[in-house]
Amino acid sequence: MKKVTLELACQLTGEEIQDKGRAIAGYMVQYDESEALKKAQAKEAADELKALRTKMSDLAQVIKAGAELRPVECEVRFNVPTVGTKRIVRKDTNELVRDEAMSPDEQQNNLFDDLNELDRMFGSGPEVPPEDQPPAP
Protein backbone atom coordinates (compact mmCIF):
# COMPACT_ATOMS: atom_id res chain seq x y z
CA MET A 1 0.00 0.00 0.00
CA LYS A 2 1.15 3.48 -0.90
CA LYS A 3 0.67 6.62 1.24
CA VAL A 4 0.09 10.17 -0.09
CA THR A 5 -0.36 13.52 1.56
CA LEU A 6 -3.07 15.77 0.17
CA GLU A 7 -4.16 19.29 1.00
CA LEU A 8 -7.70 18.91 2.28
CA ALA A 9 -10.09 21.22 4.16
CA CYS A 10 -10.10 20.80 7.91
CA GLN A 11 -12.38 22.52 10.40
CA LEU A 12 -10.54 25.01 12.69
CA THR A 13 -10.92 24.94 16.43
CA GLY A 14 -11.81 28.12 18.32
CA GLU A 15 -8.20 28.45 19.51
CA GLU A 16 -6.85 28.10 15.95
CA ILE A 17 -9.24 30.82 14.75
CA GLN A 18 -8.02 33.15 17.53
CA ASP A 19 -4.37 32.40 16.62
CA LYS A 20 -5.08 33.21 12.96
CA GLY A 21 -6.87 36.45 14.02
CA ARG A 22 -3.85 37.53 16.09
CA ALA A 23 -1.55 36.71 13.15
CA ILE A 24 -3.59 38.78 10.67
CA ALA A 25 -3.68 41.69 13.14
CA GLY A 26 0.12 41.53 13.45
CA TYR A 27 0.51 41.47 9.67
CA MET A 28 -1.80 44.49 9.36
CA VAL A 29 0.32 46.47 11.81
CA GLN A 30 3.50 45.51 9.91
CA TYR A 31 1.81 46.43 6.61
CA ASP A 32 0.79 49.87 7.92
CA GLU A 33 4.30 50.50 9.27
CA SER A 34 5.86 49.48 5.95
CA GLU A 35 3.44 51.69 4.06
CA ALA A 36 4.23 54.68 6.31
CA LEU A 37 7.96 54.03 5.88
CA LYS A 38 7.52 53.83 2.11
CA LYS A 39 5.70 57.19 2.09
CA ALA A 40 8.38 58.81 4.27
CA GLN A 41 11.15 57.47 2.06
CA ALA A 42 9.30 58.58 -1.08
CA LYS A 43 8.92 62.09 0.35
CA GLU A 44 12.58 62.16 1.35
CA ALA A 45 13.60 60.99 -2.13
CA ALA A 46 11.28 63.55 -3.76
CA ASP A 47 12.76 66.33 -1.59
CA GLU A 48 16.29 65.23 -2.50
CA LEU A 49 15.40 65.15 -6.20
CA LYS A 50 13.85 68.61 -5.96
CA ALA A 51 16.98 70.00 -4.25
CA LEU A 52 19.22 68.46 -6.91
CA ARG A 53 17.01 69.88 -9.69
CA THR A 54 17.27 73.34 -8.11
CA LYS A 55 21.08 73.12 -7.91
CA MET A 56 21.31 71.96 -11.52
CA SER A 57 19.00 74.75 -12.68
CA ASP A 58 20.97 77.40 -10.77
CA LEU A 59 24.27 76.19 -12.24
CA ALA A 60 22.76 76.05 -15.73
CA GLN A 61 21.68 79.69 -15.41
CA VAL A 62 25.19 80.68 -14.26
CA ILE A 63 26.74 78.86 -17.21
CA LYS A 64 24.23 80.42 -19.62
CA ALA A 65 24.90 83.93 -18.27
CA GLY A 66 28.66 83.38 -18.02
CA ALA A 67 28.63 85.22 -14.69
CA GLU A 68 27.43 84.81 -11.11
CA LEU A 69 26.80 87.03 -8.13
CA ARG A 70 29.65 87.05 -5.61
CA PRO A 71 30.53 89.33 -2.71
CA VAL A 72 32.97 91.96 -4.00
CA GLU A 73 34.59 94.58 -1.80
CA CYS A 74 33.78 98.07 -3.05
CA GLU A 75 34.91 101.57 -2.19
CA VAL A 76 32.38 104.34 -1.60
CA ARG A 77 33.61 107.78 -2.65
CA PHE A 78 31.49 110.55 -1.18
CA ASN A 79 30.75 113.78 -3.04
CA VAL A 80 32.01 112.20 -6.25
CA PRO A 81 31.34 112.95 -9.09
CA THR A 82 29.36 115.87 -7.61
CA VAL A 83 28.53 117.16 -4.16
CA GLY A 84 25.67 115.15 -2.67
CA THR A 85 26.33 112.01 -4.67
CA LYS A 86 28.45 108.98 -3.98
CA ARG A 87 30.31 106.75 -6.37
CA ILE A 88 30.66 103.02 -5.70
CA VAL A 89 33.72 101.40 -7.32
CA ARG A 90 34.80 97.74 -7.34
CA LYS A 91 38.15 97.33 -5.60
CA ASP A 92 39.12 94.22 -7.58
CA THR A 93 38.80 95.80 -11.05
CA ASN A 94 38.41 99.51 -10.19
CA GLU A 95 35.22 99.54 -12.31
CA LEU A 96 32.34 101.91 -11.62
CA VAL A 97 29.39 100.05 -10.05
CA ARG A 98 27.04 103.03 -9.84
CA ASP A 99 26.58 106.66 -8.79
CA GLU A 100 23.73 107.44 -6.44
CA ALA A 101 22.49 110.22 -4.19
CA MET A 102 23.89 110.38 -0.68
CA SER A 103 21.41 109.99 2.15
CA PRO A 104 20.99 112.90 4.58
CA ASP A 105 22.87 110.87 7.22
CA GLU A 106 25.76 110.28 4.84
CA GLN A 107 25.89 113.98 3.97
CA GLN A 108 26.00 114.89 7.66
CA ASN A 109 28.54 112.20 8.59
CA ASN A 110 30.89 113.23 5.80
CA LEU A 111 30.98 116.88 6.84
CA PHE A 112 33.94 116.26 9.15
CA ASP A 113 35.62 113.85 6.73
CA ASP A 114 35.47 116.61 4.11
CA LEU A 115 37.06 119.08 6.53
CA ASN A 116 39.83 116.61 7.33
CA GLU A 117 40.39 116.08 3.61
CA LEU A 118 40.65 119.86 3.11
CA ASP A 119 43.18 120.07 5.96
CA ARG A 120 45.27 117.35 4.30
CA MET A 121 45.09 119.08 0.94
CA PHE A 122 45.58 122.70 1.99
CA GLY A 123 46.90 122.54 5.54
CA SER A 124 45.12 123.89 8.54
CA GLY A 125 45.07 127.45 7.19
CA PRO A 126 46.70 130.61 8.55
CA GLU A 127 47.59 130.70 12.20
CA VAL A 128 45.39 133.01 14.25
CA PRO A 129 47.28 134.95 16.91
CA PRO A 130 46.16 134.03 20.44
CA GLU A 131 44.75 137.51 21.05
CA ASP A 132 42.43 137.15 18.02
CA GLN A 133 41.10 133.72 19.00
CA PRO A 134 37.67 133.54 20.62
CA PRO A 135 37.68 132.76 24.37
CA ALA A 136 37.32 129.10 25.33
CA PRO A 137 33.93 128.18 26.85
Domain end: 53, 69, 85, which one? 69
Residues 79 and 117 in one domain: yes
Residues 64 and 78 in one domain: no
In contact, 87 and 76? CB cutoff 8 Å = yes
Q: Read off the pLDDT band of 64 (50, 70, 90).
A: very high
Domain with 22, as residue range(s), is 14-69
Q: What does the mean pLDDT of the chain come to?
A: 88
Structural domain tally of the chain?
2
For residues 57-83, average pLDDT: 94
pLDDT at residue 122 in the model: 65
**Residues 42-61, buried b or exposed e (16+ Cβ, 10 A)?**
eeeeeeeeeeeeeeeeeeee
For residues 20-26, average pLDDT: 97
Higher-confidence position of 53 and 120: 53
Residues 92 and 56 in one domain: no
Q: Nearest Cα to 92, choosing from 73, 77, 76?
A: 73
Domain end: 45, 69, 93, which one? 69
Pairing of strands 96-101, 74-78: unpaired
The span from the CA of 62 to the CA of 54, in Å, is: 12
Residue 116 lies in a domain: yes
